[in-house]
Amino acid sequence: MAGDNKANTLEATSVAGPRKDPGGGPGYQGLGNSPKQHLAAARSANLRREKIAVSFLRLTALVTGAVVVFVFGYILVRGLGVINPSFLLSPPLEMGRAGGIFPAIVGTLVLTALSLLIATPLGVGAAVFLTEYTKETRLSRFIRTGTETLAGIPSIIFGLFGFAFFVIYLKMGWSILAGALTLACMMLPTIVRTSEEAIRAVPAAYREVSFALGASRWQTVVSVVLPQAAQGIATGIVLATGRAIGETAAVIFTAGSSLRLPKSLMDPVRTLPVHFYILAREGISPENAYGTAAVLLVAVLLINFTAHYAVKKMFGKGNG
């Protein structure tokens, strides 16, 4: 009987084939396709998903580029026809209905330059302190949190602060100095954060080599770290300048909107964004408003290109 049972078992095994391993071992054949076919199908599905993702990314890039071209093109087409030497070099007449925008150009340049002179050393100095001279302390966390909070505050709040503190409390009145100090407060968060990131991106090996050669921390910062981070710092300064040069609300509250050329830092001044805002709001001269917008747009583009070109020339393409 035992021999018959064994024979029956062997016969059943030979008929049913090799026993399948439910764990998926070497003897497990599975149901359906082979492992190579499964791998090929998975690769094909991944390629399809990648093509869909790349197509979506390409579409987003095209839409973004189209928006930029449309905005730039619309303003330039509407405004370039007004721009001529007389428009750029003459003062406005009849409250802006005629004449040019020369005082607004001067006011924009003076206000932006003064705010840069105030904000740049403060912002870069704060970034150097946070990255090179302090560890993660309550003070550093407080400064970082404060700068991030300031970066999200609307410009109208800065304008109200500047009006209450600089114009009224410090008795500066509507003036270039009050406007520049207010714009400097707006620019600080951008300069601090971008400068801090640029300084942190400098490899630690550069600092170690400098220390090994006997340089002090200050010498290392000035001679090694800042030159290597210069391009990133300059990018932050350019971004902050773009925000300052296009600001309207904070400037109206602090610098005023005088149509005359300023004679001192305590005189009120009108900037290009303020001039454009007043012309457009009052409906005084839509043509001159678009001309002012076109000049402002070209000025921002020139500042960006000039700054990046100057940094690459001074420090090379590999820095930052």
Q: Specify the amino acid at residue 44.
A: S
- Classify residue 7: in a domain, yes or no: no
* Band of pLDDT at residue 99, cut at 50, 70 and 90: confident
CATH number of the domain enclosing 229? 1.10.3720.10
Helices (H) and strands (E) in the chain, counts: 13, 2
Integer-rounded Cα radius of gyration of the chain: 33
* Domain boundaries, position 103: 80-315
Q: Among candidates 125, 162, 163, which has minimal Cα distance to 147?
A: 125
Residue the block writes with tokens 């330039």 = 76
* Band of pLDDT at residue 316, cut at 50, 70 and 90: low
Q: Structure pTM? A: 0.77
- Classify residue 25: in a domain, yes or no: no
Cα dihedral 65/68/74/79 (nearest 10): -140
- Classify residue 47: in a domain, yes or no: no
pLDDT of residue 306: 82
Q: What is the DSSP letter of 96?
A: G
Q: Specify the amino acid at residue 106.
A: V
DSSP string, 110-123: HHHHHHHHHHHHHH
* Percent above pLDDT 90 for the chain: 38
**Mean per-residue pLDDT for 200-207?**
90
Residue 242 to residue 300: CA distance in whole angstroms: 6
**Mean per-residue pLDDT for 288-294?**
90
**Mean per-residue pLDDT for 130-159?**
85
- Classify residue 20: in a domain, yes or no: no
Which residue would you say has higher pLDDT here, 6 or 46?
46
pLDDT of residue 173: 92
Instruction: Provide the number of structural domains found in the chain.
Output: 1
Please check the confidence at residue 16 and state whether its pLDDT lies above 50: no
Residues 217-237: pLDDT tens digits?
A: 899 998 899 988 988 898 889
Of 18-27, 66-75, 88-97, 291-300, the least confident: 18-27
* Band of pLDDT at residue 315, cut at 50, 70 and 90: low
pLDDT of residue 31: 47
